[in-house]
Amino acid sequence: MNSAINEPAQSVTVNGEKFRVFIPEEEIQKRVGELADELNRNYSGRTPIFIGVLNGSFIFFSDLIRQITIDCEIDFFKLSSYGDAKISSGNVKLLKDLNCQVTDRDIIIVEDIIDSGLSMDFIKKLIAKQNPRSFAVVTLLYKSDCVKIDFKVDYIGFQIPNHFVIGYGLDYAQKARNLRSIYILDK
Ligand code: IMP
Ligand code: MG
């Protein structure tokens, strides 16, 4: 059964597992606005490149970018590490590279969630080789208990516990990306 269409339900069942609302749509939208305000202030007078990490960040990216009022450009990476599981394989693969030139540019990576941090570490190393002018990371969600890599995350939407979440771009075996709120696995 695909309960994704039952929104705004307080709980949904995806691939046979039950999830409950964790961050409602309105709260997400408010926080995205605050992050955009901060970015507009901090990058005033510059033309950063916002780089989204596909697939998970596509909704956050599009909501965030529409609240950016300074000149900017966009591009996307596509990475894969999860497969269909709820735990990262730890094996990050680059499925789509950038089309833009990074050298001497202000780079802002836009992620849906930082879990182990392995994907971000992979991206950071890739970008660093091309000598950007600056490098910053904005992530909607941050699982602080899980992060295995020591690096700075400049903008965090919400710090969340070490639980599997779905919705607002985040999937469970490719399902549930279309949910408007973020849902957490109901143990
Ligand atoms: P990391 O490399 O372990 O930090 O994981 C990064 C990627 O795994 C994220 O960009 C997500 O696409 C995916 N991911 C991590 N945690 C979750 C989760 O709780 N739900 C869905 N996807 C997740
Ligand atoms: Mg992702």
Pocket test for ligand 1, best of 93, 113, 147 (most atoms within 8 A of CB): 113
Surface-to-core class of residue 16, CB atoms within 10 Å of its CB (0-12 exposed, 13-18 middle, 19+ buried): exposed
Could you tell me if the CB of 183 is within 6 A of ligand 1?
no
Could you tell me if the CB of 165 is within 6 A of ligand 1?
yes
Kindly tell me the sign of the dihedral angle through the C-alpha atoms of 110, 116, 117, 123: negative
Query: Does position 21 have pLDDT exceeding 50, yes or no?
Result: yes
Query: Which atom of ligand 1 is closest in space to residue 164's alpha carbon?
Result: 19
Q: In DSSP terms, which residues pair with 137 in a beta bridge?
A: 109
What is the tens place of the pLDDT at every residue in 75-105? 999 998 666 667 766 788 899 999 999 999 9
Query: Which atom of ligand 1 is closest in space to residue 117's alpha carbon?
Result: 4
Q: In which order are the strands placed within the sheet that holds 11-14?
A: 11-14, 17-23, 182-185, 165-166
CA separation for the pair 139, 153 (Å, rounded): 8
- Delimit the domains of the chain by residue range: 28-82+90-164
Q: Give the ligand whose atoms come closest to the C-alpha of residue 61.
A: 2
Q: Residue 93: phi, psi to the nearest 5?
A: -120, 140
What is the tens place of the pLDDT at every residue in 108-150? 999 999 998 999 999 999 999 999 999 999 999 999 887 777 7
Q: Name the average pLDDT for the chain.
A: 91
Q: Would you state the pLDDT for residue 151?
A: 78
Query: Does position 177 have pLDDT exceeding 60, yes or no?
Result: yes
Question: Under 8 Å CB-to-CB from 109, ≥6 apart: which residues?
Answer: 51, 53, 120, 123, 124, 127, 135, 136, 137, 138
CA separation for the pair 171, 14 (Å, rounded): 10
Mean pLDDT, range 162-173, rounded to an integer: 96
Residue in 106, 112, 115, 171 annotated catalytic? 115
Q: Would you state the pLDDT for residue 89?
A: 66
Nearest-5° angle of CA 154, CA 80, CA 164? 70
pTM of the predicted structure, to 2 decimals: 0.92
Percent of the chain with pLDDT over 70: 91
What does the DSSP 8-state code read for residue 116? S
Domain 28-82+90-164, CATH number (from 3.90.1640.30, 2.60.40.1180, 3.30.420.40, 3.40.50.2020): 3.40.50.2020
Residue 6 banded pLDDT, cuts 50, 70, 90? very low
